[in-house]
Structure 1
Amino acid sequence: MPVAIITGASSGIGKGTALLFAKNNYKLSLTGRNTDALKEVAALCVSEGGLDINDILITAVELSSEEAPKMIVDLTIQKFGRIDSLINSAGILRAGPVLESGIEVYDELMNVNVRSLVRLTRAALPHIINTKGTVVNVSSINGPCPFAGVTYYCMTKSAVDQFTKCLALEMAPNGVRVNAVCPGVIVTNIHRTSGQDEATYAAFLEKSKTTHALGRPGTTTEAAEAILFLASEKSSFTTGQLLKVDGGRGIMHPR
Structure 2
Amino acid sequence: MSFNSKVVIVTGASSGIGAATALLFAKEGADVALVAPNSTKLAAVAKQIEALGKTPLIIPADLANETEAGTVVSQTVNHFGKLDVLINNAGIEVQGSILNGNALEAYDKVMKLNVRVVIQLTTLAAPFLAKTKGNIVNVSSIASTLTSKYPTGLPYYVSKAALDYFTRCSALELASTGVRVNSVNPGPVDNEFVANNKLGDASVINKERAKIAALGFLAKSEEIADVILFLASEKARSVTGSSYVIDNGFLLKG
* Secondary structure of 1:67 counterpart: helix
In the alignment, the residues of structure 2 paired with residue 208 and residue 118 of structure 1 have an alpha-carbon distance, to the nearest angstrom, of: 31
Give yes or no for contact 1:9–1:30 (8 Å, CA) kept in 2. yes
Query: Which residue does the alignment assign to 2:38?
Result: 34
Query: Which residue does the alignment assign to 2:109?
Result: 108
Query: Which residue does the alignment assign to 2:215?
Result: 214
Shift of 1:196: 3.0
Give yes or no for contact 2:70–2:121 (8 Å, CA) kept in 1. yes
- Alignment TM-score, normalising by the size of structure 2: 0.94
Residue pairs, 1:119-158, within 5 angstroms: 119-149=120-150, 150-158=153-161
Gaps of 5+ in 2: none
Query: Which residue does the alignment assign to 2:178?
Result: 175
In the alignment, the residues of structure 2 paired with residue 153 and residue 236 of structure 1 have an alpha-carbon distance, to the nearest angstrom, of: 30
- Alignment TM-score, normalising by the size of structure 1: 0.93
In the alignment, the residues of structure 2 paired with residue 11 and residue 41 of structure 1 have an alpha-carbon distance, to the nearest angstrom, of: 8
In the alignment, the residues of structure 1 paired with residue 187 and residue 12 of structure 2 have an alpha-carbon distance, to the nearest angstrom, of: 18
User: Per-residue CA shift, 1:82-109, capped at 9, x if unaligned?
Assistant: 1000000000012344322341111101
In the alignment, the residues of structure 1 paired with residue 209 and residue 53 of structure 2 have an alpha-carbon distance, to the nearest angstrom, of: 35
Paired AA for residue 86 in structure 2: L
Query: Which residue does the alignment assign to 2:49?
Result: 45
* Secondary structure of 1:158 counterpart: helix
Give yes or no for contact 1:23–1:51 (8 Å, CA) kept in 2. no
In the alignment, the residues of structure 1 paired with residue 211 and residue 63 of structure 2 have an alpha-carbon distance, to the nearest angstrom, of: 35
In the alignment, the residues of structure 1 paired with residue 193 and residue 86 of structure 2 have an alpha-carbon distance, to the nearest angstrom, of: 21
RMSD: 1.2
Q: Are 2:12 and 1:12 aligned?
A: no
In the alignment, the residues of structure 1 paired with residue 218 and residue 114 of structure 2 have an alpha-carbon distance, to the nearest angstrom, of: 22
Across the two proteins, how many residue pairs are aligned to each other?
A: 247
Q: Pick from 177, 190, 193: which aligns with 2:193? A: 190
Paired AA for residue 194 in structure 1: N
Gaps of 5+ in 1: none
Give yes or no for contact 1:140–1:183 (8 Å, CA) kept in 2. yes
Runs in 1 of length 4+ with deviation above 4 angstroms?
A: none
Structure 1 residues 193 and 2 mapped into 2: Cα distance closer, same or farther (>3 Å)? same
* Secondary structure of 2:143 counterpart: coil
In the alignment, the residues of structure 1 paired with residue 85 and residue 197 of structure 2 have an alpha-carbon distance, to the nearest angstrom, of: 29
Paired AA for residue 171 in structure 2: A
Identical-residue share of aligned pairs (%): 38
In the alignment, the residues of structure 2 paired with residue 96 and residue 218 of structure 1 have an alpha-carbon distance, to the nearest angstrom, of: 27
